[in-house]
Chains A and B, each alone.
Chain A
Amino acid sequence: MRYELPKEEFLYSGHIGCPGCGASLAMRYALQALGKKTMVVIPACCWSTVGGFFPSTSLKVPILHTAFETAAITASGVKKGLLAQGIEDVQVMAWAGDGGTFDIGLQALSGSAERNDDIIYVCYDNEAYMNTGIQRSSATPFLSWTTTTPNPVFKDTPKKDIMEIMAAHRIPYAATATPSFPEDFLEKMRKAKQVKGLRFIHILSSCPPGWKFPSELSVKISRLAVETKVFPLYEIENGRKYTLTVEPKGLPVGEYLKLQGRFGHLTEKMIQAIQANVDEEWSILREKVRGTRREAKGKAKGRNGQKGKGERGTGRESP
């Protein structure tokens, strides 16, 4: 069945994102899913300027730019301010990069998550400080080159697991997404819209200048991240219920890495080390997904002896 994208657009041409920018595509899809009654809070990140410099804006929804480390709490403040005036039908979306989420904004995000503030927090993760010109963040992957992890001192620690950090807050909804799987992305945003409380969407945002690949490969590389299990697409409900939403093909990680200049220095041994890490992370996630299915099955059997709703792991049940 052909998937129909929403017709109404909220990101107009004229934005100044780089050619092939995953974050621009992600914003387009996110707003299509959420619709007109959405306000966006943007801390320091590429999107501080992607929408245009004053007095231009390429977004057809209200935008509030804010300090680097404050995306979550500023969005919470907007939501509270609207509620104080009796405005209940507006979604407030924080839209931050990996630096503003994994690093400098983590404290405020944790605060909002612990209070379960009623916002959608989107991290578009391009795996380094790209707005300032490719400096490593705690989202930068193992063995990646950046300007602050130059040859030969490439990133020597793994990427921080932000999804597990958010799951540990027991927020009602957390999901990963990529703009290369738009159906999955839009469904997750729509699902998030129906949930109350803090909803966290982690988007892998392919970045041609930062990852060093030609812009026309942006969607392909984004798909390969999923198919190689480097960035699995899944969701976590209430910090407990894990559901895989796209079954990856399980291609070798080399297929993903070899297209990107930031991994151009990798030896076969280094690629094997990355493959081992990806396999290990995947098996941990797989076990959590299976555990969720077993639990759902057990509950369903205990109830009526029939197959449980969550058993097939579509993740499309209404929350």
Chain B
Amino acid sequence: MERVISGNEAVAYGAMLSRVQIIPAYPISPQTTIVEALSDFCGSGKLKADFIKVESEHSAMACCIGAASAGARTFTATSAQGLALMHEVLHWAAGSRLPIVMANVNRAMAAPWTMWCDQGDSLSQRDTGWLQFYCEDNQEVLDSIIMAYRISEKVLLPSMVCLDGFILSHTYEQVDIPDIKEVDRYLPSYVPKFKLDVDDPHSFNGAFLPDVYMEQRVKLQEAMEQAKSEARAADEEFGKAFGRRYGIMEEYAAEDADVLLVTRGTITGTARVVVDDYRKKGEKVGLLKMKMFRPFPTEEVRRVLQKVRKVAVIDRNISFGATGIFAQEIRSVLHQHGEGTSVFGFIAGLGGRDVTPGVLQEIVEQVKGKEAPEGDIVWMGVKP
């Protein structure tokens, strides 16, 4: 069924089609309409789930952890400050190996107060053991929620599906809403491998001494590694079932590119237009869209970037005192393997500033004119 819906409604439909059972949530702009839509789905009986109006995001995630430990499929959604408040329990969710799925509507962090988009909120949570996926449009948002359950429940790690605040969350697009029976075939009911059971009592998350803790961390890392292949498999199966595929990343006119833009989220859509324009002019500009950030597709990224002379990484975030986070990760991927590749790092679009085709063209032109970057960071569109 085709409908024109917002990104936040796409999240809610994704959760409903995944037949989530427990939804603890707390409102925050610009996530709020997800909570409202799910509340409506539960209230009207469209979704048979328990919607729990918790008193904070910290409790939303703790409630997910309790319910998932009992064996239920759980979902929540948040943004920025809410995600930051959850930070401690994000570690608990991953360490407990629970396949919780959460939507994060990307919003810049305070202080000062801001409501608008950048990706600093979710990227700040990169080391918590959560899978992270970034979406380009509303269709990808809906599909990614469903795929996230399939991947998470295979590897027993939680997933965060990220969408740019307002740019997707409040923008209406035509979205194909799959038939729930087809989704049921793609994503069967959750059968937990481990759960709290009075007939088979165990202690979960009890204290580990130094002689066993590291092994538990190794297993978590192995699950992350496994998530790469599971994500590819989930995408392939999704393609067979619904006719749409995204990959864990996407190369767009990348094969012979002299300059390759690296983007994620909604900047990708803008970059496609810019790349097309350059190609029409016969200039070899390409694009790498990063969908999956954790686990980081190291080998795949290296394979693409090694062939390219100049890479322009556009970061809608900043790791203060260092560089954009994607630029860091990509430089690290190329270290010792990509001596011939120059990585140019650009910071753009913080706090909701528009990243227009003009901004991206300016980036391409800057990179075209230089053999190597003059510094680690170039700030785009900053007023003097």
Contact = CB atoms under 8 A, between A and B. Distances in A.
Given A54-B207, A59-B201, A64-B66, A80 B22 contact: yes
Contacts of A220: none
B299 to A, nearest CB: 34
Contacts of B209: 53-54
B212 interface: yes
Given A54-B212, A57-B206, A111-B59, A66 B92 contact: yes
A39 B92 contact: no
Interface in B164-222: 196-198, 201-209, 212
Contacts of A64: 66, 69, 196, 204-205
A84 interface: yes
Contacts of A180: none
Interface stretch (A69-77, A232-240, A266-274, A311-319): A69-77
B202 A57 contact: yes
B62 A81 contact: no
A73 to B, nearest CB: 4
Q: How large is the interface on B (under 10, 10 to 19, 20 to 34, 35 or more residues)?
A: 35 or more
A156 B55 CA distance: 31
A38 B62 contact: no
Nearest to B61: A70
A162 interface: no
B63 A84 contact: no
Interface in A28-54: 36-39, 41, 48-49, 51-54
B135 interface: no
B72 to A, nearest CB: 4
Interface string A7-30: 000000000000000000000000
Contacts of B207: 48-49, 53-54, 65
Contact of A70 (B62, B68, B72, B208): B62
Interface stretch (B46-54, B122-130, B357-365): B46-54
Contacts of A194: none
A288 B113 CA distance: 47
A73 B203 contact: no
A63 interface: yes
A132 interface: no
B71 A85 contact: yes
B55 A81 contact: no
Contacts of B70: 39, 77-82, 85, 87
A39 B196 contact: yes
Interface in B5-49: 21-22, 24, 49
Given A37-B198, A62-B198, A77 B206 contact: no
A84 B72 contact: yes
Contacts of A195: none
B89 A76 contact: no
Contacts of B59: 70, 73, 107-108, 111
A30 to B, nearest CB: 15
B208 A53 contact: yes
Contact of A51 (B54, B66, B206): B206
A115 interface: yes
A275 to B, nearest CB: 39
Nearest to A111: B55
A50 B217 CA distance: 24
A61 B72 contact: no
A111 B21 contact: no
A67 interface: yes
B223 interface: no
B206 A80 contact: no
Nearest to B91: A67
A81 B205 contact: no
Given A63-B204, A64-B196, 17 more contacts: A41-B66, A57-B202, A70-B65, A73-B62, A73-B63, A74-B65, A77-B66, A77-B68, A77-B70, A80-B70, A82-B71, A82-B196, A85-B71, A85-B72, A108-B59, A111-B56, A111-B59
17 contacts: A39-B70, A49-B207, A57-B206, A60-B201, A61-B198, A63-B201, A64-B66, A65-B205, A66-B65, A69-B58, A80-B50, A80-B66, A81-B72, A82-B196, A87-B70, A108-B55, A108-B62
Interface of B: 21-22, 24, 49-50, 52-56, 58-59, 62-72, 74, 88-89, 92, 196-198, 201-209, 212
Q: State the 7 A-B residue pairs at the shortest beta-carbon distance, nearest first.
A: A77-B66, A81-B70, A111-B55, A81-B67, A70-B62, A81-B72, A77-B63
Interface of A: 36-39, 41, 48-49, 51-55, 57, 59-67, 69-70, 73-85, 87, 90, 107-108, 110-111, 114-115
